[in-house]
Amino acid sequence: MCDGVVVSMPQIFEILEIVLKLVLAAFLGGVIGYQREISEKPAGLRTHVLVSLGSALLMIISIEPFFGIEFADVTRIAASVVTGIGFLGAGAIIRQGSIVRGLTTAASLWVVSGVGLAVGAGLYAASLISTLLVFVTLVGLKYIEVRAVPGHRTVQVTALDNPQQLGKIISALGELGITVRTIEIESLEAEGTNIVQLSLQIPPYVEYNQIVSKLASVEGVGDIRWITRGMMT
C-alpha cells in the first residue's frame, strides 16, 4: 500500500511481464545489432536495440489497454510499425553509382521490428528462434554466399586520395570484364592515401595475376592484396 493505492499481486505480475518484454526485446535487438556494428554497417547496435524496443512497446500499447474489450482492433498500431520501418530501412541503403549497399542492414532492421512485435505480443519462442536464425544468416550464410558465386574474390589496394582514383581502378577492372560488386574505402589522411577494398566478380577466363598486373599499371595504386574470408593474402 502506498498513499492509499493498493497494488494487487496480479498487477505486480503484469508490470513484471511488461518489464520482461521490454528488456528481452532490447536484448534480442542488440544481438542482431552487435553483428551489424562489428561489420561497420550504417545501422548498428543502438539502432537495432531502439527499433526492437520501440516495436515491442508499440505492441504492448496496442494490446494492454484494450485487453478483454470486444471488437477492439489491437493490430492497427502494430501494422503501422511494419509500414514505418520502411522509411528507416531506406536510410540505411546507400547507392554508389551502379552499386547499392545497405540492403542487408535494411532487411535486418525490418526483421528486428518483427522480433520486437513478437516479444510485445508475448510470442517468446517465435522471437527467440527468429533472432537465432537472423544471426546465423548474417554470420554464417555470407561465407556460403561467397563460395556459391564462382570467381568471387576480394582485393584490397592502397591508392592515392584522389577523386578520380576510384574511377581509374574500376575502369581498369572493367577492361578485363570484371564486375565490382561492393566498395569499401578507409581514408588514411596522414599519408594522403586510401585503402580501397573491392569485392569482385571475376570471369573464369581472367587469371588473378592479370588482375594484379592491371591494377599495378594504374597510376596512384600502391600495395595490392587478396583477401579471403577476412584474411589478407
Q: What is the pTM of this model?
A: 0.59
Q: Are 164 and 194 in contact (CB under 8 A)?
A: no
What local confidence, expressed as pLDDT, does residue 95 receive?
53
pLDDT value at 180 more than 90: no
Quickly state the pLDDT bin for 66 (edges 50, 70, 90).
Answer: low
pLDDT value at 82 more than 70: yes
Quickly state the pLDDT bin for 98 (edges 50, 70, 90).
Answer: very low
What local confidence, expressed as pLDDT, does residue 233 receive?
35
Q: What is the mean pLDDT of residues 139-154?
A: 66
What local confidence, expressed as pLDDT, does residue 129 receive?
94
* Mean pLDDT for all residues in the chain: 78
**Distance from C-alpha of 172 to C-alpha of 69, rounded to nearest angstrom:** 67
Q: What is the mean pLDDT of residues 167-186?
A: 84
Using alpha carbons, select from 4, 61, 59, 52 the residue that is nearest to residue 24.
52
What local confidence, expressed as pLDDT, does residue 104 receive?
79
Q: Are 40 and 104 in contact (CB under 8 A)?
A: no
**Distance from C-alpha of 122 to C-alpha of 39, rounded to nearest angstrom:** 31
What local confidence, expressed as pLDDT, does residue 142 receive?
66
Quickly state the pLDDT bin for 168 (edges 50, 70, 90).
Answer: confident
> Hey, which of 18-27, 35-44, 76-85, 214-223 has the most confident mean pLDDT?
18-27
**Distance from C-alpha of 152 to C-alpha of 173, rounded to nearest angstrom:** 14
Q: Which CATH architecture has domain 152-232?
A: 2-Layer Sandwich (3.30)
**Distance from C-alpha of 33 to C-alpha of 24, rounded to nearest angstrom:** 14
As a three-state string, the secondary structure of the chain is CECCECCCHHHHHHHHHHHHHHHHHHHHHHHHHHHHHHCCCCCCHHHHHHHHHHHHHHHHHHHHHHCCCCCCCCCHHHHHHHHHHHHHHHHCCEEECCEEECHHHHHHHHHHHHHHHHHHCCCHHHHHHHHHHHHHHHHHHHHHHHHHCCCEEEEEEEEECCCCHHHHHHHHHHHCCCEEEEEEEEEECCCCEEEEEEEEECCCCCCHHHHHHHHHCCCCEEEEEEEECCEEC
pLDDT value at 145 more than 70: no
What local confidence, expressed as pLDDT, does residue 115 receive?
93
What local confidence, expressed as pLDDT, does residue 220 receive?
84
Quickly state the pLDDT bin for 149 (edges 50, 70, 90).
Answer: low
Domain extents for the chain? 9-147, 152-232
Question: pLDDT tens digits, residue range 4-33?
Answer: 556 677 678 888 888 999 999 999 999 998
Quickly state the pLDDT bin for 93 (edges 50, 70, 90).
Answer: low
Q: What is the mean pLDDT of residues 122-148?
A: 81
Quickly state the pLDDT bin for 140 (edges 50, 70, 90).
Answer: confident
Please tell me which residue, 158 or 131, carries the higher pLDDT value: 131
Please tell me which residue, 180 or 87, carries the higher pLDDT value: 180
